[in-house]
């Protein structure tokens, strides 16, 4: 055993444990792991007392809390969270709740989830919603699975402007199924409608689009919906929920299924998760929806009550008969989404959306004035937009991080010939002074 490996067991105890599992040494135990992936040394320090550990954690928090202006989006957004969201979701009856199998002792949880479903339906304009999913990426995959079940077909067409992380999860979900995923390469940051028309045939189960898309572009897919339905397929729209304060709803565009990530609805960034995914659909598709659905009913005394509905028990215990294996999902984060939407209300959401859009337009104008910077103008935007820099965006972002600026998402890792492209995000939290600071530092970085 390498002396740098800290281990509380004696050599004799280690030998006994290795013998019990049929290997002669630690090296043999880890042999299946490629050598370049193995830690050469762990250098684990001695244990600390509770006081020392707490002090160390405080120091780490203080270091992580250094001022960093966030202009990153790409699916996770730095929005204001009303204090009531933390206060109510932190109550023990909510954060300790489990899957509400027994309605007689789960009315609080069931009612909260029923109200959540109502909020998602009103937000998206769709008829029905389930009680949430894991995240936005898995919601896209679950919608594709729904379409495959409904149509009996075996191809999914995906706009290349859909979040690349969602596309990756979709491919993972469908990897071992006899399903073909066809991606349509973007055209100037928007859906290539001519290529979509060529891809549509009687084998396509669904077309998956996103609004606003990964480039920040906003599109109206109403005409696309007619085209997709004409081919006998379903239209799945992935949406950014805050944008629905001012943008056309998925239902308004003719989508059959609406999905998205609920992180922007009252949930913190938290290093990328967790959050929750939402899915809503037309009523005709309800029996193919994954996960839990809460229904309202009355008891023998005529009193209002809530139950799990339209679900066989197999949804929970016989995986091969279930529409999905979502059971104990992100209910607490969905509840935060409900509290957020309830607290700011319809007009508050619209005002929040307008602030996002207006501040992004100001930032767009400021960055466009920088020599060598070009703003993608192929479509309107909400609170994200793409700029093209005179040198690789990843290097520029790395330079700006040294100055306390997280400037955006470089597109070079996700799209060919996009090394100089950068997606910048501006939420209601960003001030004019902060946007001006970004423009100033970006110009200075490009001059170096």
Domain 69-79+347-447 and domain 83-340, same fold? Reply is no
CATH T-level assignment (fold) for domain 83-340: 3.40.640
SS (H, E, C) the chain: CCCCCCCCCCHHHHHHHHHHCCCCCHHHHCCCCCHHHCCCCCCCCCCCCHHHHHHHHHHHHHHHCCCCEECCCCCCCCCCCCHHHHHHHCCHHHHCCCCCCCHHHCHHHHHHHHHHHHHHHHHHCCCEECCCECCHHHHHHHHHHHHHHHHCCCEEEEECCCCHHHHHHHHHHHCCCCCEEEEECCECCECCHHHHHHHCCCCEEEEEEEECCCCCECCCCHHHHHHHHHCCCEEEEEECHHHHHCCCCCHHHCCCEEEEECCCCCCCCHHHCCCCEEEEECHHHHHHCCCCCEEEEECCCCCEEEEECCCCCHHHHCHHHCCCCCCCCCHHHHHHHHHHHHHHHHHHHHHHHHHHHHHHHHHHHHHHCCCCCEECCCCCECCEEEEECCCCHHHHHHHHHCCCEECCEECCCCCCCCCCEEEEECCCCCCHHHHHHHHHHHHHHHHC
Express each pLDDT in 380-405 by its tens digit.
Answer: 999 999 999 999 999 999 999 999 99
Express each pLDDT in 191-240 by its tens digit.
Answer: 999 999 999 999 999 999 999 999 999 999 999 999 999 999 999 999 99
Express each pLDDT in 22-79 by its tens digit.
Answer: 999 988 998 899 988 887 777 778 888 999 999 999 988 887 666 789 999 999 999 9
Q: What is the pLDDT of residue 126?
A: 98
Q: What is the pLDDT of residue 66?
A: 67
Q: What is the pLDDT of residue 414?
A: 96
Q: Spelled out in words, what is the top-level CATH class assigned to the domain 69-79+347-447? A: alpha beta
Residues of the chain predicted below pLDDT 70: 1-8, 64-66, 97, 311-320, 325, 327-329
Domain locations in the chain as residue ranges: 1-46, 69-79+347-447, 83-340
């Amino acid at each position: 055993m390498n002396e740098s490996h800290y281990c509380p067991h004696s050599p004799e105890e280690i030998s006994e444990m290795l013998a019990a599992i049929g290997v002669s040494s630690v090296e043999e135990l880890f042999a299946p792991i490629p050598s370049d992936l193995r830690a050469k040394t762990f250098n684990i320090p001695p244990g600390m007392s509770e006081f020392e550990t707490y002090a160390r954690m405080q120091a780490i928090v203080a270091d992580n809390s250094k001022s960093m202006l966030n202009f990153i989006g790409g699916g996770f957004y730095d929005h204001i969270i009303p204090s009531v969201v933390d206060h109510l979701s932190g109550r023990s009856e909510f954060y300790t709740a489990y899957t509400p199998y027994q309605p007689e002792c789960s009315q609080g949880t069931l009612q909260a989830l029923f109200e959540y479903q109502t909020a998602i339906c009103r937000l998206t304009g769709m008829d029905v919603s389930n009680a949430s999913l894991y995240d936005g990426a898995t919601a896209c995959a679950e919608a594709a699975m729904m379409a495959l079940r409904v149509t009996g077909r075996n191809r999914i067409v995906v706009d290349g402007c859909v979040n690349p992380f969602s596309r990756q999860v979709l491919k993972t979900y469908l990897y071992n199924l006899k399903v073909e995923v066809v991606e349509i390469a973007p055209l100037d940051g928007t859906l290539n409608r001519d290529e979509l028309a060529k891809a549509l045939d009687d084998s396509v189960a669904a077309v998956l689009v996103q609004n606003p898309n990964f480039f920040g572009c906003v599109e109206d897919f109403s005409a696309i919906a007619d085209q997709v339905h004409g081919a006998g397929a379903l239209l799945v729209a992935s949406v950014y929920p805050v944008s629905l304060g001012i943008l056309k709803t998925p239902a308004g565009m003719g989508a059959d299924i609406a999905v998205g990530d609920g992180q922007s609805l009252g949930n913190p960034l938290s290093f990328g998760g967790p959050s929750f995914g939402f899915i809503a659909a037309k009523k005709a598709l309800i029996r193919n929806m994954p996960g839990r659905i809460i229904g309202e009913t009355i008891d023998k005394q005529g009193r209002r009550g809530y139950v799990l509905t339209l679900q066989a028990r197999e949804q929970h215990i016989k995986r091969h008969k279930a529409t999905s294996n979502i059971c104990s999902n992100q209910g607490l984060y969905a509840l935060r989404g409900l509290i957020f939407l309830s607290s700011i209300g319809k007009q508050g959401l619209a005002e929040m959306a307008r602030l996002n859009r207006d501040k992004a337009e100001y930032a767009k104008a400021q960055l466009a004035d920088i020599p060598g910077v070009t703003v993608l103008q192929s479509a309107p935007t909400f609170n994200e937009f793409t700029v093209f820099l005179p040198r690789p965006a990843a290097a520029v972002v790395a330079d700006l991080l040294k100055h306390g600026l997280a400037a955006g998402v470089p597109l070079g890792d996700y799209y060919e010939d996009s090394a100089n492209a950068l997606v910048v995000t501006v939420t209601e939290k960003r001030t004019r002074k902060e946007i001006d600071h970004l423009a100033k530092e970006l110009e200075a970085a490009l001059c170096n």
